[in-house]
Amino acid sequence: MVELNFFEGGSSSVLRIYVDKTGGVTLDECVNLNRKIGDYLETEDLISRRYLLEVSSPGLDRPLTSVGDFKRKIGETVKLILKEKVQGPTEVIGRIKNLKDDNLILEIEPQKFKPNEATEKIIPLNQIAWAKILF
């Protein structure tokens, strides 16, 4: 589970659960989880009012916001907007190589006009203002 929202409405509410895993989540997996979670909630009677349960993937454009998000996306190419300069500009594009000690380790392709530039950047997670997978 990567996110959970509960929206209260007039006569009914919506419980929305976003799930993800390495390689993504299929529609069949969302349907299966919806059934299992729904059965559990009904059995335990955890929500006393009428509600609609939605289980889905967070989508391709969902920003990366947590340590878990970055861990699941190791090997993927990301675009980062940093709060301030860290080893260069505030906009960085690279492949997530690893996550270690609250630092994101990115593999950066050398630019043609700067072939000797470092190919690895260490970005503290607390310096990331926004992050998104590039396709």
| pLDDT per residue as tens digits for the range 71-108 | 888 999 999 999 987 667 788 899 999 999 999 999 98
Band (118; pLDDT cuts 50, 70, 90): low
Average pLDDT rounded to a whole number, residues 32-58: 92
Average pLDDT rounded to a whole number, residues 44-52: 89
pLDDT at residue number 86: 64
Strand 13-18 relative to strand 51-56, pairing: parallel
pLDDT at residue number 90: 83
pLDDT at residue number 43: 93
- Helix, strand and coil content of the chain, in percent to the nearest 5, comes to 20, 40, 40
Band (23; pLDDT cuts 50, 70, 90): confident
CATH architecture, range 67-133: Roll (2.30)
CATH 3.30.300.70 domain locations along the chain: 3-56
CATH 2.30.30.100 domain locations along the chain: 67-133
Cα separation, 51 vs 42, whole angstroms: 11
pLDDT at residue number 87: 65
* pLDDT beyond 90 at 58: no
Q: Record the tokens describing residue 101, joined without a space.
A: 């000690």
Contacts of 3 (CB under 8 A, 6+ apart): 16, 17, 18, 58
CATH architecture, range 3-56: 2-Layer Sandwich (3.30)
* pLDDT beyond 70 at 20: yes
pLDDT at residue number 85: 76
Cα separation, 88 vs 117, whole angstroms: 11
